[in-house]
Structure 1
């Protein structure tokens, strides 16, 4: 369809835009995604530019189109584009020389970046129909970004603003999407330093009736630590996928670390299983900092009952604990790199500062993935950008309402 055809009433434009994007990306490598978007968005009578969040979630990096002039990187914390990303909401600029909107690029619930859309007619920015059409286009684009990222480096080289260590390369290939969810649960995790993380890893598996999750921290933060974390994660997934319970999953991790590293490496961790029908959480901690329970904007307790010794060390005793959650409760799992972060005076960040930070963000109704991002940013600031240890956080929320905070058209 020719969008300039005077007989065009606009009804077929969204389908034409989506169809063109699908056709152009069917056999296209990742680096040709910008040109495919250019051709497709013409059907909406607009131009568009893709910006992707870097792996540290500090800047939005433009994805270049062949022959186009280079564009600047945009800070996430101080720009309108960053606001669209942080709040997963559409932001509009009508007074600049080039009126445009910023729309978050999301795959499912995972934030990937933003799309700058410049309509041919600035009046379209006031048209709710145009905004909905742009949302559908951007929503589909988010799925495509994840799909094409799997078979090329074109997306990765844009998002990778720092050189990675071998251990970080290994860990990042093992991670699930940083944010995901269903109509009953939300999960979001982050780890820092993104380019040199060594022994921290997390995982989860969601189904209609349960959410299973784990956070693991292997000794050190070098390649050997990464190998130990990878071994622990593989053992966890293998046991979980065989339908084993928390005790069996934990023992599988223990045996794998012990047998592969001969007692020279160990790991800490927390494993959990949340019944999404009843809200009953079963958990087990192996030498790891106890999770926090965030309820009604307040941290009401530490979950410190279920425990066993370090993974890789023979068991003396073990127990699985239960906790009854209330709707919208958030379980906060973290590694010791969070609370043991040190400032210039060698003062620990500590559990009290973490609790205060979580409560302030919850009181502000900050979306779950943004809380995770801000915790890690706070850690980096506290240590002047240099972490002495890996710092990882995993948030699990039992909710049927928190999802609306991640809806770009709410």
Structure 2
């Protein structure tokens, strides 16, 4: 440790004090707030070279001046009595992460692209951010002048679908942008000089993408700057209500991965889903109000709220079902709500289901759909209970799917419904994909089948049991 000579320290403290725009009284107040005990006269005498001060007081005085310089001036700082390393890194991965954290602090959402660009410079990278639109058809650039990327046909779209990383022939590194496990978009990373195949660089980019994903989600909670970029058109008020009620489209633990998709994204009206994952159990639910009527959204939000309240209170599966039924029976003139509540024991793979007039649960094993799993109840009702759950034993790797009536009942121009067989075929074909991608592809297929015209919402909730 190198000690700064007292005379040099005094001279530099005095010079920095002169640039601080503080009066002597203001400096003394800051010094006093740090724990200093010397008088105003003693500080004045020290700054003018008429006396000396103990090392601890010199350092407190330097710190008081530096706090002010951080506010108004710039990097030149008063020295402490011994040399210390700069707390803030000047280059490299740690500086990139610090730049992201500090740049995003109190920043409005629309400033995030500039913050990301600054963080990229610390790694000698040029970074472009693309976020998936709410329809999950395109990746929308945050950098002005850049073109949107089609999710089905571009390199960036392929990275999004696989939630992976790839390097193109021109040396561009593409990597998934995640908040936890939820896919938000992709990063386009152009190294200034480094090898994009370098595993260390890839790991550093993964750190950056992980932190950025959290910041995108956090800033979207209090501003519309990023949210508006992801919208291709205005949402109606029913869709806005339902989207704000939904959990993230993806969640995972070591034992289970959950993915969901709902369409039409901008005109969602009567389908919601929910889940809760723990160490030992995955709880899933889907509620569907059928035809897209004016009161459908109120009915399914009521069902969702009743389900969550019961689940949060520790209610059993049967009690959750009854709570939803009781709440729905208080609504006057609301459409009938169908759906299902499910519990999956993550230790044993035992699945318990209570359905209410909903399409049967589908289980896909080794790419093939098992026979339909029916439930006895035809609707959410208090009368006739208690209802006894249907029980299925899953095997590791099995997919289970809950879906709304709109998935199976959407018809094409010839009046042919999409149908359960087609659902099973799509699930089996895509079984090796990630659950959120399976869900996205299924609802996209329903939209194509219906020529983008849905009389009922198409919602699907998919889970893969991984076991332990």
- 1:116-136 CA-to-partner distances (Å, cap 9, x unmatched) read 111111x42132211111111
State the distance in 1 between where 2:248 and 2:454 align: 23
Bigger share in strand: 1
Matched, 1:43 2:115: no
Report SS of the residue matched to 2:422.
helix
Q: Is the 8 A contact 1:267 1:312 kept in 2?
A: no
Task: Give, in angstroms, the shift of residue 301 of structure 1.
Answer: 2.1
Q: Which runs of 5+ in 2 are unaligned?
A: 1-88
> 1:46-61 residue pairs with structure 2 within 5 A?
46-61=125-140
Name the structure 1 match of 2:452: 385
Match of 1:250 among 321, 342, 347: 321
Report SS of the residue matched to 1:124.
coil
Name the structure 2 match of 1:190: 261
Q: Is the 8 A contact 2:283 2:342 kept in 1?
A: yes
> 1:3-152 residue pairs with structure 2 within 5 A?
13-64=92-143, 69-95=144-170, 99-121=171-193, 123-152=194-223
Q: Is the 8 A contact 1:192 1:390 kept in 2?
A: yes
Larger RCO of the pair (alpha carbons < 8 Å, separation 6+): 1
Name the structure 2 match of 1:354: 423
> 1:303-322 residue pairs with structure 2 within 5 A?
303-304=373-374, 306-311=375-380, 314-315=383-384, 318-322=387-391
Q: Is the 8 A contact 1:214 1:270 kept in 2?
A: yes
Matched, 1:213 2:284: yes
State the distance in 1 between where 2:260 and 2:411 align: 22
State the distance in 2 between where 1:162 and 1:202 align: 23
State the distance in 2 between where 1:289 and 1:315 align: 20
State the distance in 2 between where 1:325 and 1:219 align: 29
Match of 1:286 among 344, 356, 361: 356
Q: Which runs of 5+ in 1 are unaligned?
A: 1-9, 402-410
State the distance in 2 between where 1:349 and 1:214 align: 22
Report SS of the residue matched to 2:387.
coil
Task: Give, in angstroms, the shift of residue 380 of structure 1.
Answer: 1.0
Task: Give, in angstroms, the shift of residue 199 of structure 1.
Answer: 0.8
Residue-pair matches, total: 380
Name the structure 2 match of 1:267: 337
Task: Give, in angstroms, the shift of residue 357 of structure 1.
Answer: 1.3
Q: Is the 8 A contact 1:308 1:319 kept in 2?
A: no
State the distance in 2 between where 1:235 and 1:195 align: 25
**TM-score, with structure 1 as normaliser:** 0.89
**TM-score, with structure 2 as normaliser:** 0.78
State the distance in 2 between where 1:217 and 1:264 align: 12
State the distance in 2 between where 1:228 and 1:15 align: 49
Task: Give, in angstroms, the shift of residue 316 of structure 1.
Answer: 6.5
Report SS of the residue matched to 2:178.
strand
Task: Give, in angstroms, the shift of residue 312 of structure 1.
Answer: 5.6
Assess, with a 3 A threshold, how the Cα gap between structure 1 residues 171 and 353 changes in structure 2: closer, same or farther: same
State the distance in 1 between where 2:376 and 2:229 align: 42
Task: Give, in angstroms, the shift of residue 313 of structure 1.
Answer: 7.6
Task: Give, in angstroms, the shift of residue 311 of structure 1.
Answer: 2.2
Select the structure of larger CA radius of gyration: 2
| CA-atom RMSD in angstroms | 1.7
Match of 1:366 among 404, 414, 433: 433
Q: Is the 8 A contact 1:299 1:359 kept in 2?
A: yes
Task: Give, in angstroms, the shift of residue 255 of structure 1.
Answer: 1.1
